[in-house]
A and B are shown apart, each in its own frame.
Chain A
Amino acid sequence: MQKQKIQIWDLPIRLFHWLLVITIALSYLTIEIGGIWADWHARLGALALGLIVFRVLWGFFGNKQARFSQFFPTPSRLIQYFKGQWQGLGHSPLGALAVFALLGLTGVVVITGLFANDDITLFGPLYPLIDQSLSDWMTGVHAIAFNALLTVIGLHLLAIFFYWLVKKNNLIKPMLTGKKYLEIHHHTDQTKAEAKPVYFFISIALTLLVVWLTFGNVLTDLLATKPVPQAPSSQSQW
């Protein structure tokens, strides 16, 4: 049977994936060590926020295989998949479940992190917008959601090994190169699927805007009712 090399993961998707892997690993490492590394946990939080915002935008405006509508795991698609009838490029319906779980949980971790505190020197950039008790609650959710995220990452890795060893299907290489050898009948589905470059730049611009609004203290300066904890000490005479 004739096989053909087909691009299934575009560069933004691959960069997103591997940068997120690195970000999650380093975030965990830096907060575990603490001390001066806690600052890096916050910086990595900014990167994680940017990655998630970009991926969500790219899920609407991106190339075909990146778009949520293309792989949303509807019940009918899942049934097809389990009957072995699913044919397609990109995320399989089961893989799509993992994608949404990973994106959703990372989103919860990132958003709660914006409001969280470690009660030592680390305060999320939006901490000044809420009460300490709510921030403590957010911190708890931040930790629980991260543990859930680790569990789903574990399942994700198990699935990849299962595909590799049992189904003889290497999923890692396409995530690195973007390309996959496929039997030619898949090719019928390859319509013009690339997003206009302008959508990429709009997504990047909106991502930077969101990161700037949160981590650039713009939102807190506009909305905060209490002083930022890092504010310089007052120059009282006693």
Chain B
Amino acid sequence: MTKLSLLLTSVVLLNAGLSHAGPIEDQIKYRQSAYSFIGWNTNKIKAQLDKPETFSKEEVIAAANAIAAAANSGLGALYGSGTDQGEGWRKTRLKSEFFQKPDEAKKLATTFNLEANEFAKVAETGDPVQIKVKFGKLTQSCKACHDSFREKDPK
């Protein structure tokens, strides 16, 4: 009993110590917005890779930098405890396992950040072949986290 209350107290204190971006609904809203923005930029790049005649080095760089900026903005702050339940723009699809496997979560999140920054570098080359390969790596890092920590069906 005392152990449990001690644990609960420390969890509460720990959470208070981290700078989470406000109420649960806000955290979910911000992160849904962030990934939606990342998705928009990702598909702009995809469209240009699919149709080489529309490929524009500047636009790809701009989109890649936008993705990297979102990735580097500290999205981890939007994953406070309890944010596996609740509604932002819509119900969150974050699995509770996210909080049970913090090491895996961290690994997947940092892989995405790494790939986003690597991709922004490759985008500067303007070479569609290299960009395409790195783009595949980037979207794989999205998928890895979706597979592990995102509900297949909307809750």
Interface residues of A, Cβ cutoff 8 Å to B: 33-38, 118-121, 133, 136-137, 139-140, 143, 229-233
Contacts and interface: CB of A to CB of B under 8 A. Distances in A.
Interface string B39-54: 1001110111011001
B47 A120 contact: no
B107 interface: no
Given A119-B39, A121-B42, A231-B47, A34 B59 contact: no
Nearest to B138: A35
A119 B146 contact: yes
A67 B153 CA distance: 38
A133 B93 CA distance: 13
A121 B133 contact: no
Contacts of B133: 36
Interface size class of B (residues with CB under 8 A): 20 to 34
A232 B48 contact: yes
A35 B137 CA distance: 6
B140 interface: yes
Contacts of A230: 43, 46-47, 50
B47 A232 contact: yes
A215 to B, nearest CB: 14
Contacts of A139: 152-153
B98 interface: no
Nearest to B46: A121
B82 interface: no
B136 to A, nearest CB: 3
A217 to B, nearest CB: 12
- Most chain A beta-carbon neighbours within 10 Å: one of B50, B137, B139: B139
Given A230-B50, A231-B47, A232-B48, A35 B139 contact: yes
B142 A120 contact: yes
Contacts of B101: none
B152 A38 contact: no
The 10 nearest A-B residue pairs measured at CB: A35-B136, A36-B136, A35-B140, A140-B153, A34-B143, A121-B46, A232-B54, A233-B44, A230-B47, A120-B142
Contacts of B47: 230-233
Contact of B135 (A36, A143, A232): A36
A230 B47 CA distance: 5
Nearest to B51: A232
Contacts of B39: 119-120
Nearest to B154: A136
Nearest to A232: B54
Nearest to A37: B136
Interface in B96-154: 132-133, 135-137, 139-140, 142-143, 146, 152-154
Given A120-B39, A120-B42, 16 more contacts: A35-B143, A38-B139, A120-B142, A121-B46, A121-B139, A136-B153, A137-B153, A137-B154, A140-B154, A143-B152, A230-B43, A231-B47, A232-B48, A232-B51, A233-B47, A233-B48
Contacts of A140: 152-154
A137 B50 CA distance: 27
Interface in B22-55: 39, 42-44, 46-48, 50-51, 54
Given A35-B136, A36-B133, A118 B143 contact: yes
